[in-house]
């Protein structure tokens, strides 16, 4: 079968022909329909993701952690899954710590977790995958076209859950009991920034999405469908602050210290800064004593957020279903290209480098 192969920590990517996986006693055999390309995939290909590693004893790994497929065969007792559409949970527990044993490998304490297509486990950019039913989430046929977005969205379901749990440290809702008076700033207009904005909007926050440049037309289209405000932060955050007042949530997808420094002084009392995603290039900066004092004096919480687990995939699908009517066309306009795996050169090109007109590119393995 055809598969996209990488060899971290070495940079590079190839499309290879490898043997199909074999169905085990407790397994299900899935034909992959299409997979999404994530920034993490490109970091692996460019050799800049420190946690990336091949499965034990192998020098190559199948890339990909955003996939939708259809169950073609199943082992004894699981036959009723045949014909169902499924998405796959990408991080799996270390088998030792309590969080992993309780289905919360997103909070693994040993660092011994594996991640499909990222760390120590083959991923999903292949024609077929054999997996354990524990790690599959069924997808209703009506959501087939956009359900692959449930994987990146699961990361955000976990993240916003984490923000809301942290904010229970005080009374944080508005006078009407909602979050409508609270201002959320999402930094970054990539797929994560877009999905984070949709989710925060669904929770009732007043969302502004930010980038240090003007929007490309495809981004403008998507943002108008989501129905949130855009702000160009090239000259800092002062103008936005003057217009809307202090920020209650800052959701950062850039991991750039200079960005954090510039936004920090506009954060509200009792606000929260969520750091999502890994840096693409090194940047050195520091917080000074005034900034640290302000964080303390304003009860500002800082929370790192990574990875969603099975329950987050499930809530992600619920949100996707509801957005089909509340934000018509938004998810669909997020998928900016579909490239078939047979189109090798184009696939390899888009894997190596993000084209400027991309929000989410899919690689189609079968239909
Ligand atoms: C994935 C997450 C994963 C993270 C860290 C992201 O691209 O979507 O689920 O935990 O990378 O490897
Ligand atoms: Zn990802
Ligand atoms: Zn663990």
pLDDT value at position 298?
98
Ligand at shortest distance from the CA of 100: 3
* Secondary element (H or E) of residue 36: strand 28-36
Closest C-alpha residue for ligand 1 atom 1: 307
pLDDT tens-place string over residues 319-354? 999 999 999 999 999 999 999 999 999 999 999 999
pLDDT single digits (tens) 187-222: 999 999 999 999 999 999 999 999 999 999 999 999
Residues with CB under 6 A from ligand 1: 38, 40, 65, 90-91, 115, 118, 152, 155, 306-307
pLDDT at 60 over 90: yes
Q: What pLDDT, on the 0 to 100 scale, is given for residue 280?
A: 83
Residue 49 alpha carbon, nearest atom of ligand 1:
12
pLDDT at 295: 98
Neighbours of 205 (CB within 10 A): 25
- Would you place residue 1 in the very low, low, confident or very high pLDDT band (cuts 50, 70, 90)? very high
Distance of CA 167 to CAs 160, 301, 319, Å? 10, 8, 22
Question: What number does the ligand 1 atom closest to the CA of 41 have?
Answer: 7
* Distance of alpha carbon 151 from alpha carbon 310, whole angstroms: 10
> Quick one: average pLDDT of 26-55?
96
Burial class for 288, CB neighbours closer than 10 Å (0-12, 13-18, 19+): exposed
Model pLDDT, residue 354:
96
DSSP label at 272? E
Asked if the model's pLDDT at residue 79 lies above 90, the reply is yes
Using an 8 Å Cβ cutoff, are 12 and 45 in contact? yes
Average the pLDDT over 294-315 and give the result.
98
In this predicted structure, the answer to whether residue 238 has a pLDDT above a threshold of 90 is yes
What is the percent of the chain where pLDDT is above 90? 97
Mean pLDDT of the 242-264 span:
97
Residue-averaged pLDDT of the chain: 97
Residue 281's pLDDT is what? 87
All residues at 6 or more sequence positions from 224 whose CB lies less than 8 Å from its CB, including other chains: none
Report d(CA 342, CA 103) in Å as an integer: 37
- Strand segments, DSSP code E, in 117-266 are 120-121, 128-131, 136-139, 183-187, 206-211, 229-232, 247-252
Q: How far apart are CA 192 and CA 155, in angstroms?
A: 9
Q: Cis ω on the peptide bond leading into residue 9 (within 30° of 0)? A: yes
Best substitution site from 65, 156, 192 to test ligand 1's pocket, by max atoms within 8 Å of Cβ? 65
**pLDDT at position 352, please?**
98
pLDDT digit string (tens) for 173-191? 999 999 999 999 999 999 9
What is the distance in A from the centroid of ligand 1 to the CA of 277? Answer: 8
Split at pLDDT 50, 70, 90, the class of 24 is confident
Report the phi/psi class of residue 236: left, alpha or beta, with left for phi > 0 and alpha for psi in -120 to 50: left
pLDDT of res. 287: 93
């Amino acid at each position: 079968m055809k598969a996209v192969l990488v060899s971290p920590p070495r940079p590079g990517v190839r499309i290879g022909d490898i043997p199909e996986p074999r169905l085990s006693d407790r397994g299900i055999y899935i034909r992959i329909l299409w997979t999404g390309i994530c920034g993490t995939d490109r970091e692996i290909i460019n050799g800049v993701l420190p946690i990336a590693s091949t499965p034990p004893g192998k020098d190559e790994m199948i890339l990909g952690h955003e996939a939708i497929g259809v169950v073609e065969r199943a082992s004894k007792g699981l036959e009723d899954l045949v014909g169902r559409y499924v998405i796959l949970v990408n991080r799996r527990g270390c088998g030792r710590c309590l969080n992993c044993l309780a289905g919360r490998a997103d909070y693994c304490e040993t660092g011994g977790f594996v991640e499909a297509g990222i760390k120590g486990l083959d991923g999903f950019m292949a024609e077929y995958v054999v997996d354990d039913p524990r790690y599959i989430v069924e997808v209703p046929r009506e959501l087939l076209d956009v359900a692959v977005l449930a994987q990146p969205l699961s990361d955000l379901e976990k993240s916003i859950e984490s923000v809301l749990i942290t904010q229970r440290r005080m009374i944080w809702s508005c006078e009407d009991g909602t979050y409508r008076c609270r201002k959320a700033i999402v930094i970054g207009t990539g797929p994560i920034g877009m999905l984070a904005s949709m989710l925060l909007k669904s929770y009732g926050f007043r969302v502004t999405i930010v980038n240090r440049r003007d929007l490309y037309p495809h981004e403008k289209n998507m943002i108008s469908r989501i129905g949130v405000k855009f702000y160009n932060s090239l000259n800092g955050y002062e103008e936005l602050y003057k217009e809307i007042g202090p920020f209650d949530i800052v959701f950062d997808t850039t991991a750039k210290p200079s960005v954090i420094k510039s936004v920090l002084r506009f954060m509200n009392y009792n606000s929260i800064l969520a750091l999502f995603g890994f840096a693409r290039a090194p940047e050195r900066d520091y917080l000074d004593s005034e900034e640290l004092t302000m964080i303390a004096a304003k009860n500002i919480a800082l929370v790192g957020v990574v990875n969603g687990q099975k329950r987050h995939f499930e809530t992600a699908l619920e949100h996707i279903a509801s957005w089909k009517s509340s934000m018509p066309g938004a998810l669909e306009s997020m998928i900016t290209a579909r490239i078939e795996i047979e189109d090798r050169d184009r696939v390899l090109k888009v894997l190596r480098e993000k084209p400027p007109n991309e929000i989410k590119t899919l690689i189609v393995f079968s239909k």
